[in-house]
Structure formats: structure tokens, C-alpha cells
A and B are shown apart, each in its own frame.
Chain A
Amino acid sequence: MNWLDTILQGVLLGGLYALFAAGLSLVFGIMRLVNLAHGDLIVVAAFLILVLVTGLGLNPFLAALVALPVMFAAGWALQYFILNRTLGDDILPPLLVTFGLSIVIQNALLEGFSADSRRVPAGSLETMSLPLGPVTVGVMPLLTFLSAIAVIVVLNQIFYRTALGRAFRATSDDMVTAGLMGVEPKRIFATATGIAMVVVTIAALYLGTRANFDPTIGPARLIYAFEAVIIGGLGSLWGTLLGGIIIGVAQTVGAAVNPEWQILAGHLAFLIVLLVRPRGLFPRAID
């Protein structure tokens, strides 16, 4: 067994988990909303890409490009018309509503697509790999990781360099005063969820092309995303990437020792980091 190779695979897997988590982190950071249907929304996006690929014969990357605006609009509407109504001082309503949404999505997908395991065909890219010194890396895992970095860079630019980003932060600080500046919090929240769904679509592209998926796998992806967000430190996107990497490496190393340990090792790494750093690796100064 080649440890260097195992760890590298884990790091690249962490990129996928960071993609699962970035949207969750964004939405939580702005409106303190924990979306329990986040994993299922990734699966929805994966099915959308699958339909575009198999139905229209599109290349998966092109299909994802087509899916992006659709998912943005769906996220915007979901937030504006449904989730905004659940926000308030009580944290329970959004949890209940998104939990319900998760079940609704799973059942709707089961009705529409059956419980069969699917995969988005990506042609020769699926098996292509690059020699990198002593190890070889798959092109798809590498693209996943690079996409995660690109997503985080772009989200950070939006968050810290644009008027929209200022409005996100101001609204999260103080909704009433943001209103006095001309911000309409409901629209800001809808835009944030729309952006989160764009990230979800990118995550779905790699989820769907790299592994099999079926309508019920959303909650498990949600768990990895949660763990990445929490050990990274709430609100820090680079922390989320690091969190994803820690879980990814723990899983591949665990699996290398004993294939049955893969999932367990990821959860154990999560618990150990939390024991050592209860607020995560990069906690935000205020909160």
C-alpha cells in the first residue's frame, strides 16, 4: 500500500466534501438557517444533470452549466416563498420544514426515478489519470478539488469584495438596520440560497460522475458536509475546505487499513477535532 497515494486521494476526496459543504456554510453564515434538505438538493441537481445528459445527449459539464441557472432560480424561490417564512427567533421551524422537505424530495425522486442506482456517464474522463511524481491522480478527483478551490475563492470574493457581499454580512449582523440601508432581507436571503444552489449543482456534477447515486443518499452527504463545516469553524469557507480534507483523508486512510473502517474513521476524525477545538479550526471572531 502506498501511503502517499492514499493521503492524496483523501485530500482530493476532501474537495468533494467541501463542495457539499460550501453552500451549507454560506447559508448558515448569512441567515443562521440549517438546511436539512441540503444533501437531497445535491441529489436533485445530480438527477437534473443526469436527465440533461441522457435525455439531450449533453456533455456532463455542459449539462451542469445548463442546470446552474435552473437551480439558482429554484433555490431563490424555495427561500423566498417557503424558508423565509420559517425564519425568526425560534430555530425549530426551519429545522422541521427542511426536514420535511428532505423527505418530500426523496419520495418524489423515488417516484420519478425509482430506487435504482445511477451514474452520470462522463466518457473517457472517468478513467483518465495523470502521473504526478510517485503517484497518479484521477482527472475527475483533481477537477473536483480544483473546482472546490475555485468555488471558495469566488464565494470569498463575493462575500468580501462586492456590494452584495457587504449586504450579506450586514444583514447577518443586524437585519433591521440593514433594512434602513435599503436592503430587503428576504431578497438577500433568497439570493444567498440561490448561490448555495449553484454550488450544490457543481457538487452534484462531481457526485454524479464519480460515484453511483440514488434518491436516498442525500442525508449521508449532508452529514459529511455538516462535519466539514463544523470542524472548519462556522462561517469560514477555507476552514470548510480543511474540514473536508480532514474527513476525506481520515476516510481513505481508514479504508486502507480496513475497508469497513472508512466511514467510521471519518466520523472519529470529526469527533477528535471537536474535542481538541470545540469551536472548529477557524472560528469567526464574532458570534
Chain B
Amino acid sequence: MLETVGLTAFYGDFQALFGVDLSLRVGETVAIIGANGAGKSTLMRSISGVIANGRAAIRFEGEAIGDLPAAKVVARGIAMVPEGRRLFASLSVEENLLMGNYGRKVDGPWTLGSVYDLFPILKERRDQSSTSLSGGQQQMVAIGRALMSNPRVLLCDEISLGLAPVVIRDIYAAFPRIKASGASIIIVEQDIGQAMKVADRVYCMMEGKVTLEGRAGDLSRDAIHAAYFGVHA
């Protein structure tokens, strides 16, 4: 349903992606792993429209969307949980969630109520400023906010960044329900273990290229290690 075709991306003169081919099928969860600076976030920003690309480089449900701005991409059903959470500091928890469906109001499983069911602590904190929450709770708001648009595709960029292992486990515990709601998911992680557990397929990136792709169960630790660090362990 979503694919990138020889995707390249630049920051000014600096090239960050060199011909990335990636595909996501309906209902699938794909993990993208790779070291810091590999280009994972750049890939997410390209798909979500934060970075403009060639029109044909990204296809979604049969249409070329590479040149669409972010607002048009989310309207089509691709929502992003950005790296670093990026909550709106002057909005309350509930207002942050409500921003999630600003540009895409469709009927679906996700409403304020079902997001609060998924993350009950957010209901208690609904009127608090988003900056007053713990890191894990902020991440829940960021995920809930993206879900509010009832996305067809959910992009999650390093949702475990800076969180304690028990908190990471809590957050990943939500993924079976997100999957069951019908969203296809791309999870970007540096933490290989967590990503492998939820993913059907894995892409490994290094220096702006995909170095390895395969079913999560089929890849050996050595192969991943080599693709991740560029050396044979």
C-alpha cells in the first residue's frame, strides 16, 4: 500500500538518502533499524511530507505522493509520531490529542474515548499541560495524537528514545491493539530487540541506504549486526 522507489533526500547540498526502496503491505508492521545518523528519521520525514521529494519517489495506495506537503499526506491517512515526541507545549493533553484529527476527520476506531482506553493515565491528566507529564506519558500523547486521525499508516520514529525499559514495555504493550485496529505500522528504532518483537519484517539502514531486508524471524543476529554497523562481528 505504501512504497518508496529509489528515494533520495537532501538537506541543502548534503545527501541523506541514496535510493531507498521500501514497501509496506496492508496490515503489516515493519521495523526500520539502524545506527544514529543512518537516515531513518529522514526517511520518515520524507514519507510524511515534512521533506519534499520527487513526486514518483513515494507511492501510497496507487498514487504518487512524494511531492505532497505534510498536511495533504496526513489527510490521506499517513500519520506520524515524530522523533522527540514534539508535543505542543501550550496545549493541554486533551488539546494535543484533538490536534491529531485537525486535518483528517474520518470515522474509525480511534476517538478521544478509545485513546483514553488505550492509555488510561492520559484521561487523568487530560487538562494538564503536556509539558508536565513524564517522558513515557508524553510519548503516549504523541502516539494517541497520531491515532486520532485514524491513520491507514502509522509512522513511529524512535518512540523508546530516552525512556526506561519498563516504560518502553508499557508503550509497546499498546501495539497489538493498534495493529488490531487496522493500521499498518512502520516503527523506527535503534533498539533492535524491541523492534524485532513487534515487526513482521525488518529493514536495516546505514548511511542513507537499506543494507538488509527480511522477515523478522529469518534474520540472524550476525547478519543484522553486519548490516547495522557495517562490519562483520
Partner of B102 from the list A166, A172, A176 (CB cut-off 8 Å) is: A166
Residue contact A174 to B86, C-beta cutoff 8 Å = yes
Q: Is the interface of B mostly helix, strand, loop or mixed?
A: loop
B106 → A minimal CB distance (Å) = 12
Is the pair B91, A179 in contact by a Cβ cutoff of 8 Å?
A: no
19 of the cross-chain contacts (CB-CB < 8 Å) are A166-B91, A166-B95, A166-B102, A167-B102, A169-B91, A173-B89, A176-B86, A177-B88, A179-B70, A179-B71, A180-B70, A180-B79, A180-B80, A181-B100, A181-B102, A181-B103, A182-B102, A182-B149, A183-B71
**B contacts with A, residue count (CB < 8 A):** 26
Assuming the contacts A182-B104, A183-B71, asked whether A173 and B88 have C-beta atoms less than 8 A apart, the reply is yes
Q: How far is the CB of B160 from chain A (nearest CB, A)?
A: 19
**Cβ-defined partner of B75 (8 Å) among A163, A173, A174, A182:** A182
Given A163-B98, A167-B99, A167-B102: A179 and B69 interface contact (C-beta under 8 Å): yes
**Structural contact, B82 and A182, CB atoms closer than 8 A:** no
Q: Which 9 A-B pairs have the closest CB atoms?
A: A182-B103, A179-B70, A177-B86, A170-B88, A173-B88, A181-B99, A182-B74, A181-B102, A184-B71
Residues of B close to A172: CB separation below 8 A: 90
**Chain A residues, CB < 8 A from B80:** 180
The CA of A109 and the CA of B70, in the complex, are separated in Å by: 41
13 extra interface residue pairs, beta carbon distance < 8 Å, beyond A176-B70, A179-B49, A182-B104: A166-B102, A167-B99, A169-B90, A173-B88, A173-B90, A176-B86, A178-B99, A180-B48, A180-B70, A180-B82, A181-B149, A183-B71, A286-B89
User: Shortest CB–CB separation between residue A5 and chain B, in angstroms?
Assistant: 41
A167 surroundings in chain B (CB, below 8 A): 99, 102
Cα(A182)–Cα(B145), bound, Å:
12
Closest chain A CB from B95 CB (angstroms): 5
Interface centre among A172, A182, A184 (most CB of B within 10 A): A182
Q: Looking across the interface, which residue of chain A has its beta carbon closest to that of B100?
A: A181
Nearest-neighbor residue (CB-CB) of A168 within chain B: B90
> Per a CB cutoff under 8 Å, which of A173, A180, A183 touches B91?
A173
CA distance A114 to B75 in the complex (A): 51
Task: Return the chain B residue nearest A187 by Cβ.
Answer: B71
Distance A163 CA – B80 CA, assembled complex (angstroms):
20
Cβ-defined contact, B74 with A181, below 8 A: yes
Residues B85-118 near A (CB distance < 8 A): 86, 88-91, 95, 98-104
Instruction: Give the number of chain A interface residues (Cβ < 8 Å).
Output: 18
| Distance in Å: Cβ of B157 to nearest Cβ of chain A | 11
For the complex, give the distance between the alpha carbons of A163 and B99 in Å.
8
A166 touches B98 (CB 8 A): yes
Could you say which residues of chain B place their CB within 8 Å of the CB of A163?
A: 98, 102
Interface string of B124-147 (1 = CB under 8 A from A): 000000000000000000000100
A13 to chain B, nearest CB (A): 32
CB contact between B90 and one of A183, A184, A286 (< 8 Å): that residue: A286
Query: Is B192 an interface position by the 8 A CB rule?
Result: no
B102 touches A169 (CB 8 A): no
Interface 0/1 of A164-206, CB less than 8 Å to B: 0011011011101111111110000000000000000000000
Interface centre among B48, B79, B100, B102 (most CB of A within 10 A): B102
Report how far A281 CA is from B103 CA in the complex, Å: 36
Chain B residue contacts of A179, Cβ below 8 A: 49-50, 69-71
User: Which chain A residues lie closer than 8 Å to B100 at the CB level?
Assistant: 181
- In residues 154-206 of chain B, which contact A (Cβ within 8 Å)? none
Complex: A174 Cα to B103 Cα, angstroms: 16
Provide the bound-state CA to CA distance between A136 and B74, in Å: 58
Known: A169-B88, A182-B71, A182-B149. A177 touches B82 (CB 8 A): yes
Residue of A whose beta carbon sits closest to that of B70? A179
Q: How far is the CA of A174 from the CA of B82 in the complex (A)?
A: 12
Q: Are B99 and A170 in contact (CB under 8 A)?
A: yes
Minimal Cβ-Cβ distance residue in B for A173: B88
Residue of A nearest to B85 (CB): A177
- Quote the shortest CB–CB distance from B11 to chain A (angstroms): 14
